Amino acid sequence: MRLQPRCLQLDSVLQTVSVLEAVIRRSFGPDGGQVLFTRDTGQTLLTRHGTRILTALRVEHPLARMVVECVRRHSSVTGDGSKTFVLLLASLLREIQKHTRKARQEGAGAKRLAEALLAFGLDELSDVITVAVAPHGSSLSDPHTPGQTDTHTLCRLLSAFLHTRISPTHAEIISQLTCELLSHWSCHGDFINEHFPALHTAVSGFPIGCSRLLEGQVIHADFSTPLPLRDHGPIRALAVTEPLEPSLLIGGTVLELGGANREIESVCVRLGRRLDSVCVILQHLGVSLLLSSVRQSEAFLAAVGRYGVCVLECVCEDDLTLFSVLKDRGRPHSLVVCGLTEGQTEQSVCAVRDALHMLHTTWGPKHRTRATERTARTDVMEPCCVISVGGTFEFLLHHTLLQRKHRHTHSECGCVTLLQRQDRSFPSSPLLRSIVEKTLCPTQTCYYSFTSKEVSCCVYVSIANGISL
């Protein structure tokens, strides 16, 4: 039977998105609450992260699942903004519904308006942000040493970000440690972001205040043999990804004896000699630590043990990869994140990982706007431009759009009329600006309602009065 496609009504679309908005709204903002998920197995998940909340819900509605997937992808690219995404989406849909309510074909009108808004967002909106909003931000680059990161701005950014993910007291500790980690690695955010699974260790059962930075790389292994006591000299380590013992002696294989000498004892002796030769090679190389990503046989462990070699088995691949690239990086540092419960620890680890991902996005060159592709454009948004959290960006953009709306109301009337005559199906720029400006209002309301933070209040008042920051 062939499934007939059904036309989605804007009302049902809006309702679906509004439900998701209601779910994450409580966690939005500097004073947003946390959601505790529990499984039947007793596992808990404590989070304020929009993506995690939405993906943990039980949702079968196809449109809701699509929205959750969009949020997840957005978050995977940017590292942040998942709750804002849902809030702005709901607000935009409401504005579209308001403007197409009276249309004869509401669905077609809404689709065209949405496409026009997308084009507006890609073209004009990015210019607005570049020209009017970005100058109010700060740069992550150190003004005195270009190419280096301004540590103070970086720490403020990290602190603000982590405050949106974990509780304020914990955020201070974790942001301090993360800043320290970045400073030790000379703020090579990309490297830390790429190797973060190997650069951190989560330890549950201890208060978060026990979190610290350790000098060196922490190797995570499932099994280990004792390291014989020796003098404090450099230790040579070898990383292997295969079993070193010849596979004939590993259980589960069938050994077919052939040839003149069919005795099993002679085969074992020959294999044993090969094992000894491997150990001799290790000793010759001076290896006293073996990092193996797989399990080695008992016979091998016993043999290398006689030669004083310690073996770590089932070491994760990320650790081995980091181990192999570290030789050119100097002394590494690892982050140990503690938490009283597994859920709390995981929350802190996820927050740090997202913070690094966000920094990676901020440092990346892809923030150059389309303006660079056009001719005769000199105002390019500087990469690594950051604006303080708490709704500053939304307030600035809202104010700029309002100003443009008022300024161009009279001057653009003629152009708008001309455009409308030429292409009546295309909504005018002032209309699109107005829609986007009104879309930002609910987000502002969310921030403004949390005016226990004086910064947000001052920013809003300043913008409302037209005072440049």
Partner 1 sequence: MALNADDDDFEWTPPSESEMKVIHAQRERQDKISKLMGAYLLKGYKMLGECCEQCGTILLQDKQKKNYCVACQELDSDVDKDNPALNAQAALSQVRERQLASQPVHLDNEAPSSDTPLSITGQPRPEHCEGAASGLRGPLPPPANPSPALTVTPSFLPTSTPSIQPVQVAAPIVAPAPHPALSSAEDAVLHKLRWATQELQHSASVEASIQLCSLIRSCADSLRSLKELHQS
Quote the least distance from Cβ 453 to partner 1, whole Å. Answer: 25
Measured from the CB atom, is 126 or 428 closer to partner 1?
Answer: 428
Measured from the CB atom, is 106 or 342 closer to partner 1?
Answer: 106
Separation in Å, CA 142 to CA 47, 152, 153, 188: 33, 9, 9, 14
112 binds partner 1 (CB under 8 A): yes
Per DSSP, the residues of 271-334 read: HHHHHHHHHHHHHHHTEEEEEESSPPPHHHHHHHHHTT-EEEES--HHHHHHHHHGGGT-S-EE
- Interface residue with partner 1 among 10, 13, 29, 35 (CB under 8 A) is 35
Measured from the CB atom, is 273 or 424 closer to partner 1?
Answer: 424
Stretch that binds partner 1, among 110-118, 143-151, 175-183, 200-208 (CB under 8 A): 110-118
103 binds partner 1 (CB under 8 A): yes
10 binds partner 1 (CB under 8 A): no
Residues 424-453 that bind partner 1 (CB under 8 A): 424-425, 427-428, 431
320 binds partner 1 (CB under 8 A): no
Residues 395-424 that bind partner 1 (CB under 8 A): 423-424
92 binds partner 1 (CB under 8 A): no
21 binds partner 1 (CB under 8 A): yes
Quote the least distance from Cβ 296 to partner 1, whole Å. Answer: 45
Angle at 400 between CA 399 and CA 403, to 5 degrees: 85
**Exposure of 190 in the CB half-sphere (CA atoms within 13 A):** 5
Quote the least distance from Cβ 87 to partner 1, whole Å. Answer: 13
Could you give the CA distance from residue 57 to residue 55 in angstroms, rounded to a whole number? 6
Could you give the CA distance from residue 130 to residue 109 in angstroms, rounded to a whole number? 30
The contacts of residue 237 (CB under 8 Å, 6+ apart) are 287, 288, 289, 290, 291, 323
Measured from the CB atom, is 14 or 177 closer to partner 1?
Answer: 14
14 binds partner 1 (CB under 8 A): yes
Give 93: exposed, middle or buried? Use CB within 10 Å, 0-12, 13-18, 19+. buried
455 binds partner 1 (CB under 8 A): no
Measured from the CB atom, is 66 or 257 closer to partner 1?
Answer: 66
Measured from the CB atom, is 101 or 236 closer to partner 1?
Answer: 101
Count Cβ atoms below 10 Å from residue 306 Cβ, excluding itself: 9
- Phi first, then psi: what are they for 202, rounded to 5°? -100, 130
Quote the least distance from Cβ 129 to partner 1, whole Å. Answer: 24
Residues 39-78 that bind partner 1 (CB under 8 A): 57-62, 64
Copy the structure tokens of residue 429: 């720029």
Tell me the residue length of the chain: 469
Quote the least distance from Cβ 426 to partner 1, whole Å. Answer: 8
Stretch that binds partner 1, among 109-117, 294-302, 323-331, 354-362 (CB under 8 A): 109-117
Stretch that binds partner 1, among 22-30, 182-190, 216-224, 367-375 (CB under 8 A): 22-30
- Interface residue with partner 1 among 8, 66, 108, 302 (CB under 8 A) is 108
Quote the least distance from Cβ 175 to partner 1, whole Å. Answer: 28
Under DSSP, is residue 255 helix (H, G, I), strand (E, B) or coil?
Answer: coil
What's the first-to-final CA gap in the chain, in angstroms? 63
Separation in Å, CA 388 to CA 139, 321, 396, 409, 448: 11, 36, 11, 31, 15
Helix (H) or strand (E) holding 238: strand 236-240
20 binds partner 1 (CB under 8 A): yes
- Interface residue with partner 1 among 41, 42, 104, 254 (CB under 8 A) is 104
The contacts of residue 309 (CB under 8 Å, 6+ apart) are 279, 282, 283, 287, 288, 289, 290
Task: Give every strand in the sheet of 212-215, ordered side by side.
Answer: 200-204, 333-339, 212-215
- Interface residue with partner 1 among 72, 111, 367, 368 (CB under 8 A) is 111
The site for partner 1, by CB under 8 A, has a size of 40
Contact flags string 188-227 toward partner 1, x per CB under 8 A:
----------------------------------------
Residue in the block written with tokens 């990346």: 364
Stretch that binds partner 1, among 17-25, 74-82, 151-159, 351-359 (CB under 8 A): 17-25
Could you give the CA distance from residue 439 to residue 432 in angstroms, rounded to a whole number? 10
Measured from the CB atom, is 108 or 281 closer to partner 1?
Answer: 108
118 binds partner 1 (CB under 8 A): no
Interacting residues with partner 1 (CB under 8 A):
11-12, 14-16, 18-23, 25, 35, 57-62, 64, 98-105, 107-109, 111-113, 423-425, 427-428, 431
